[in-house]
Amino acid sequence: MYNGIGASAGIGIGSVVIVKEPNLDYQRVTIKDASAEESRFQAALNATIAKTQAMAEDMRKRVGEKEAEILEGHMLLLMDPEMTGQIVNSIKENLMNAEAAVEQTCNMYRDMFASLDDEMFQQRATDVNDIKTRLLKDLLGVEEVDLGNLPENTILVAEDLTPSMTASLNAENVAGILTEIGGRTSHSAILARALEIPAVLSIPDITNKVAGGDKVVLDGDKGVVYVNPDDSVVAEYTEKRRVFLEEKAALQKFVGKPTETADGHRVELCANIGKPEDAKKVVECDGEGIGLFRTEFLFMDRPQVPTEDEQFDAYKTVAETLGADKPVIIRTLDVGGDKEIPYLNLPKEENPFLGYRAVRLCLNREEDIYRPQLRALLRASAFGDIRIMVPMITCVDELRRVKQILSELMTELDAKEIPYNKDIKVGIMVETPASMIMADAFAAEADFFSIGTNDLTGYTMCADRGNPDVAYLYSAYNPAVIRSIERTIKLGKEGGAIVGMCGEAAADPLLAPLLLAFGMDEFSVSATSILTTRKVISLWTMEEAKAVAEKALTFVTEAEVKAYLESVAKK
């Protein structure tokens, strides 16, 4: 068994076809006729550009716009004046043959990209290698491997899946992909997911560990690969694949459907995002809004606090991507001493999770951090149903202070006649035992609650899930956590607040009946969990959910709660 990075979900079962790059050996020679050699290079370059263009068009038809753009980027690289200039220069000045000139120049760029300190930029080294290979093939007249004609149930094994290989690939016959390099953001991963082919990447030396024709079973979720496994393993994974495909097909039925229980009780199903561009994925996955937009990314990996205008653009983009009728809950900055943001100059703390963080920090840094963020949020609220969520609230004074600042900012905006939503909803993240206990008081002053079960579980159980010695305590099935959730929802609703949940528990099928029975209004989950969650909710009637909740609340240990919820879970 081999382990790698599970990069595209699903189970692949089939026979190995190893795809190795063709032999591109050539002799380095000193040429005599530089202008003839330059013409030979230009002819090869033109041929490569023409083929790349054809591949891009084919890719657009078969896979999608985004994937075709990668190849269009290659065309721009091939036409880059610096690169072609350098190659021609090596031919003319140093009398290198075209192959050697291409290799030397491309390697220089490849090494430059590979040494950059950002994964996104490093990945461009693959693109340069890819165009180098294609240029050399055209110079040497080497035939391309025919990936358009693979046998059925092929498990494609390669060092790396280059965009040009994928472009010519007939995906229908490919049951899985294994590579030696590449992470979750590599081209191989993105393309495998777009083509819905299970893939495991970054398996060291896999092209030498398997031979053509070997039987392989792979799990693209867990990143596990079996080579020539026993019949029992094949049978186990054949069943897993059947279940996976059946569930996937069944989920498509839930696209465009309302999120409701079997007896028609409607709830709202939203998604959590970390970057403005993630909003597109939420729309694609049929989310009904954004339940949590973390704004930390705007503040990270940069030299100073983002300007109000930069933030305004990011918030406006998300609101416009979702559309004016969809709620977008944006959480104000949630950082503290455990996250590296050098320009904030935060002191190292003994107990960062009990320290100077989130709203505590923001209210102490109103001028340079909080007011610009709140002003950007207000301005963006003119473009959609933006709602402001304040994290890490422990006392009512904090919420009052935030609302006071907001009303001052509104007066400022009114004076300048800048539009914003005067009825913008302001809510709190309920993630501390203090806010849970005071939920009735908060409900009187907040428009909505969003229960952050990740921190609420940690703070309630006093356990850091990253510490293996106490991680056993970190579980949302603890009766203390379940009762906290119940209390928050009950008091929140009695006080007129909309109550949602954006922690991982919102997507937990075992907890779904409890959350429904407690009366939760909104579930916010990762984009990929939207359809699964909609399905789980559709399986319960409110009557059944209430019976389960009533019983679950009688248990006093985590193990009992979990065992009970597992015993009544619906598939």
Partner 1 sequence: MVSQKITINNPQGLHMRPAGVFAKGVAQYQSDVNIVFNGKTTNGKSLLNIIGACIKCGSEIEIQCDGPDEEEALAKAIELIESGLGE
- Which residues are marked as active site? 187, 502
Instruction: Kindly tell me which of 36 and 300 has the beta carbon lying closer to partner 1.
Output: 300
Q: Which is nearer to partner 1, 26 or 113 (CB)?
A: 113
Cβ 189 to partner 1, closest distance in Å? Answer: 16
Q: Between 109 and 523, whose beta carbon lies closer to partner 1?
A: 109
DSSP letters spanning 489-516: HHHHHHTT-EEEE-SGGGG-TTTHHHHH
* Helix, strand, coil abundance in the chain, percent, nearest 5: 55, 15, 30
Judging by DSSP bridges, how do beta strands 224-227 and 2-3 pair with one another?
A: antiparallel
Q: How far is the CB of 73 from partner 1 (least distance, A)?
A: 5
- Residue reference for tokens 């990668």: 70
Q: What phi-psi label fits residue 205: left (phi over 0), alpha (psi between -120 and 50 degrees) or beta?
A: left
Report the C-alpha gap between 164 and 131 in whole angstroms. Answer: 9
Identify the CA nearest to 247 among candidates 564, 414, 10. 10
Give min distance, CB of 108 to partner 1, in A.
10
Asked if residues 513 and 567 have their Cβ atoms less than 8 Å apart, the reply is no
**Least distance (Å) between residue 473 CB and partner 1:** 38
Here the tokens at position 257 are: 């459907």
How is residue 323 written in tokens? Answer: 């559309």
What minimum distance in Å lies between the beta carbon of 274 and partner 1?
Answer: 11
Instruction: Provide the 10 A C-beta neighbour count for residue 559.
Output: 11
User: Residue 200 phi/psi, 5° resolution?
Assistant: -120, 125
Element (H, E) at 131: helix 124-140
| 297 Cβ contact partners less than 8 Å away, ≥ 6 residues apart | 274, 275
Q: Report H helices in 285-357.
A: 296-299, 308-322
**Nearest residue (CB) to partner 1, 309 versus 566:** 309
251: how many CB neighbours lie within 10 A of its CB? Answer: 14
How distant, in Å, are the alpha carbons of 1, 173, 215, 218, 346 from that of 229? 9, 21, 7, 11, 53
Q: How far is the CB of 116 from partner 1 (least distance, A)?
A: 5
User: Which residue, 106 or 514, is less far from partner 1 as judged by CB?
Assistant: 106
362 to each of 68, 120, 249, 315, 333, how far by Cα in Å? 43, 31, 46, 18, 7
DSSP labels, 200-240: EE--TTHHHHS-TT-EEEEETTTTEEEES--HHHHHHHHHH
Lookup: tokens for 84: 């072609």
Residue closer to partner 1, measured from CB, 48 or 453:
48
Binding site for partner 1 (CB under 8 A): 69-70, 72-73, 76-77, 80-83, 109, 112-113, 116-118, 120-121, 124, 127-128, 275-277, 301-304, 306, 310, 313-314
Across 340-495, the runs of DSSP E, i.e. the strands, are: 385-390, 426-430, 448-451
Q: Cβ 163 to partner 1, closest distance in Å?
A: 11
- In terms of CB distance, is 69 or 246 closer to partner 1? 69
Q: Smaller CB distance to partner 1: residue 257 or 302?
A: 302
CB 198 within 8 A of CB 177: yes
- The contacts of residue 153 (CB under 8 Å, 6+ apart) are 13, 14, 15, 173, 175
Beta bridge partners of 199: 8, 177
Residue with tokens 């009366």: 519
CB of 83 to partner 1, least distance (A): 5
Residue with tokens 């100077």: 356
User: For partner 1, which is the closer residue by CB, 81 or 347?
Assistant: 81
Q: How far is the CB of 386 from partner 1 (least distance, A)?
A: 19
Q: Residue 193 CB, nearest distance to partner 1 (Å)?
A: 18
**Closer to partner 1 by Cβ: residue 302 or 551:** 302
